Amino acid sequence: MGLLSYLTGLTFPRGVHPPGLKDDTRELPIRRMAFAPRMVLPLDQHFGPAARALVAKNQEVVRGEPIAEAVDDDSVPIHSPVTGTVEGIELMPTARGPKAEAIILRAAPGDSQHVRWVKPQDLAKCSARELIEAIQQAGIVGQGGAAFPTHRKLRVPDKYPVDTLVINGCECEPYLTADHRIMLEYGQDVIAGIRLAMRAVRAEQAIIGVEDDKPEAIAALREHIKADDAISVVEVRSKYPQGSEKMLIKALLDREVPSGCFPYQIGVVVNNIGTMAQIGQLLPRGQGLIERVITVAGPGVEKPGNYIVPIGTPLRYLLESVGYPKDDPSRIILGGPMMGSTVAALDVPVTKSISGVIVLPEGSELDPAPRIQPCIRCGDCVDVCPVGLNPADLARLAAARQYEVMEEEYNLNDCFECGCCSFVCPSNIPLVQYFRIAKSLNRERMS
């Protein structure tokens, strides 16, 4: 272990310390949200090709039933979050921007939360390949925000043996406490999911990294670990972005993922704590992913908390259920305020990857006046970048539209858009937004 980690607690170089702002929700038990009368299920909720609809207009479906199938190995199916009727399959607004094809469901009035479509599975004799197939059929994607199909992350090429499964229990974004509550309330499911994932990747050990400001979560998880389990819970320093996979690997194992490489190439697979809870809950039941825990918080929310929200719930319905300032110019963020994206319309639905909905009225903390000033070359952004980039130089190249140079000579693709540079910039330059645009344009150029 490095000298820095030994002296200051397990962590990584650089990073920032934004205010936590978690007090409104971290002590509140998870509550269940009612069904919206109309649900919208985009077919492209995950990284990879969109799923293909299995239903038609006016068809009746039951809660848990598959309504769209995976089209290839990079895709996952979609399951109905409600019992009801297919109202149509249309282009609908999404949080990503462009409209996308979606299945629209009309929920049956007064239906219960009972999941009618399940196929219990005996997982004890399943091979690694069968476990990974079961995870794909459950439609599970990364619950930390990336929406990368979990089965693809666990399907590691044979030439790269994995020795360690790392679980991200850090939740270092301000406001978000969904993972914290999952560790407290669903620890048994988390550990069950980790055991299955370890079998899937044939890992010798699993390490759950939890920030040291969550001692009750650490204790709760340890209660479910047996003496002969090769699973441990390790405290890491509270710091942003401690939960990103390269930073967590550095803190826990003192290994570095080379530029352009994946964690499995150094023997590690990383998953989010909520993803493990979903695997532990859903696989034994043979049930699909139809709901998830979401933090709804921020100064604009009247009833903040952590809610189990059916996938497909319109954002407007969710916010009206918890109360929000409809007439004020609030900024609404999906995910955390550091890495999340602002939504312009409330017609978009909750999808599988959304971990939080944050409502920030104008002028509230973490929503500074967006007046942009010229770069003063202070170097603060360089000092905090966790992967050692020079955001000031990248911004200068972005302004000159030299996007290829940013990628080829300045390692643009190593940026994982944590937002540390934007957070510390005294000129309020939206650096990370510049980099997202540059990467998007480079992808278009290469396609």
The terminus-to-terminus CA distance of the chain in angstroms comes to 42
pLDDT, residue 367, reads 65
In degrees and rounded to multiples of 5, residue 238 shows phi and psi of: -75, 115
Query: For every one of its 447 residues, what pLDDT tens digit does the chain have, with 9 covering 90 and above?
Result: 444 444 557 888 899 999 999 999 999 999 999 999 999 999 999 888 999 999 999 999 999 999 999 999 999 999 999 999 999 999 998 887 788 999 999 999 988 899 999 999 999 999 999 999 999 999 999 988 778 999 999 999 999 999 999 999 999 999 999 999 999 999 999 999 999 999 999 999 999 999 999 999 999 999 999 998 999 999 999 999 999 999 999 999 999 999 889 999 999 999 999 999 999 999 999 999 999 999 999 998 999 999 999 999 999 999 999 998 877 767 899 999 999 888 888 889 999 989 999 998 877 766 655 688 999 999 999 999 999 999 999 999 999 999 999 999 999 999 999 999 999 999 999 999 899 999 989 988 887
**Bridge partners, 89 (sequence order):** 103
- Cα-based distances in Å from 349 to 43, 255, 313: 12, 38, 5
For residue 170, say whether it is annotated as part of any ligand binding site.
no
pLDDT, residue 217, reads 97
pLDDT, residue 363, reads 73
The structural domains of the chain, ordered by start, are 3-14+22-27+141-285 (3.40.50.11540), 380-446 (no CATH)
CA distance 284 to 19: 39
pLDDT, residue 1, reads 44
- Cα-based distances in Å from 352 to 133, 139, 197, 242: 19, 9, 19, 23
pLDDT, residue 2, reads 45
CA distance 181 to 47: 26
Q: Minimal CA–CA distance to 295: which of 23, 47, 15? A: 23
For residue 381, say whether it is annotated as part of any ligand binding site.
yes
The structure tokens listed for 91 are 């282009």
Supply the pTM of this predicted model.
0.93
pLDDT, residue 327, reads 74
For residue 415, say whether it is annotated as part of any ligand binding site.
yes
**Bridge partners, 39 (sequence order):** 105
For residue 126, say whether it is annotated as part of any ligand binding site.
no
Let me know how many helices (H) and strands (E) the chain has, helices first: 14, 17
pLDDT, residue 7, reads 53
CA distance 379 to 424: 10
Work out the number of other CB atoms within 10 angstroms of the CB of residue 163.
14
CA distance 447 to 445: 6
For residue 172, say whether it is annotated as part of any ligand binding site.
no
Q: Minimal CA–CA distance to 311: which of 186, 139, 122? A: 139
For residue 261, say whether it is annotated as part of any ligand binding site.
no
- Surface-to-core class of residue 444, CB atoms within 10 Å of its CB (0-12 exposed, 13-18 middle, 19+ buried): exposed
pLDDT, residue 370, reads 65
